[in-house]
């Protein structure tokens, strides 16, 4: 388990409360435990998980809009779980088609008592909830065009996509699908992470 004093120092400035830090530590412990059997992430060491998973996820926190958030292709809950812990007053829906990953996430939600999180096992293009979302997040999921094609219907008019990407972002944004526009591209500086990280904020027309 990630030692709490070390974690507290690592997440300083992210807005996590002490209770939130304890939940992040518990999440990392569960992720390490399940990872041994279910291969949820290629990152094995808890110390590496902090910058590569937790700080990477929380880097988009200030860009969330509205109170209904969907995390697309969430995998082991990234960035959805850290963001849901950071914002307990927001509603988060984590969507993934993989049975093992949604099984893990349902256990995380139960064990950490994350009452603001719903887990949905579905392909994005087949998911048609009763309501749309204010913000949709995706982390290294697919091309921008594919994400908008699969999940454009999930975004409310005036809502946005927060897409965590690395390379080739400009090429992917050259020809956006009708009804969407690039609001901003943010260069993210994540402590302990040397890899290039960029956030594309894409707006859906109203």
The pLDDT tens digits for 181-195 are 999 999 988 887 777
What's the Cα-to-Cα distance from 157 to each of 60, 168, 179, 202, 206, rounded to whole Å? 21, 27, 9, 12, 4
Domain with 101 in it: what CATH number? 3.40.50.150
Residue 18 covered by a domain:
no
Domain assignment present for 28: no
pLDDT over 60 at 62, yes or no? yes
Q: Say what the pTM is.
A: 0.93
Q: How far apart are CA 181 and CA 15, in angstroms?
A: 29
Residue ranges making up the domain that contains 87 = 58-204
Per the domain annotation, does 50 fall within a domain? no
Residue 99 lies in a domain: yes
Any domain includes 9: no
Residue 198 lies in a domain: yes
Listed in sequence order, the DSSP H helices in the chain are 4-10, 18-38, 46-49, 56-58, 80-86, 99-112, 144-151, 169-173
Give residues with Cβ within 8 angstroms of 126, minimum separation 6: none
Number of domains in the chain: 1
């Amino acid at each position: 388990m990630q030692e709490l004093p070390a974690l507290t120092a690592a997440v300083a400035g992210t807005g996590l409360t002490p209770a939130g830090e304890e939940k992040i530590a518990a999440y990392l412990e569960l992720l390490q435990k399940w990872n041994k059997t279910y291969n949820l992430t290629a990152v094995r060491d808890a110390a590496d998980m902090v910058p590569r998973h937790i700080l990477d996820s929380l880097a988009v926190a200030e860009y969330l809009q509205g109170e209904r958030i969907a995390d697309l292709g969430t995998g082991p809950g990234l960035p959805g779980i850290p963001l849901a812990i950071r914002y307990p007053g927001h509603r988060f829906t984590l969507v993934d088609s993989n049975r093992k990953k949604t099984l893990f996430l349902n256990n995380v939600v139960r064990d950490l008592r994350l009452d603001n999180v719903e887990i949905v096992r579905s392909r994005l293009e087949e998911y048609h909830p009763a309501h749309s979302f204010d913000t949709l997040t995706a982390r290294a999921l697919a091309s921008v065009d594919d994400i908008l094609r699969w999940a454009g219907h999930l975004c409310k008019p005036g809502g946005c996509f927060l897409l965590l990407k690395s390379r080739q972002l400009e090429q992917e944004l050259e020809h956006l699908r009708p009804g969407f526009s690039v609001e901003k591209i943010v260069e993210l500086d994540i402590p302990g992470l040397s890899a290039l990280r960029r956030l594309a904020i894409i707006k859906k027309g109203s």
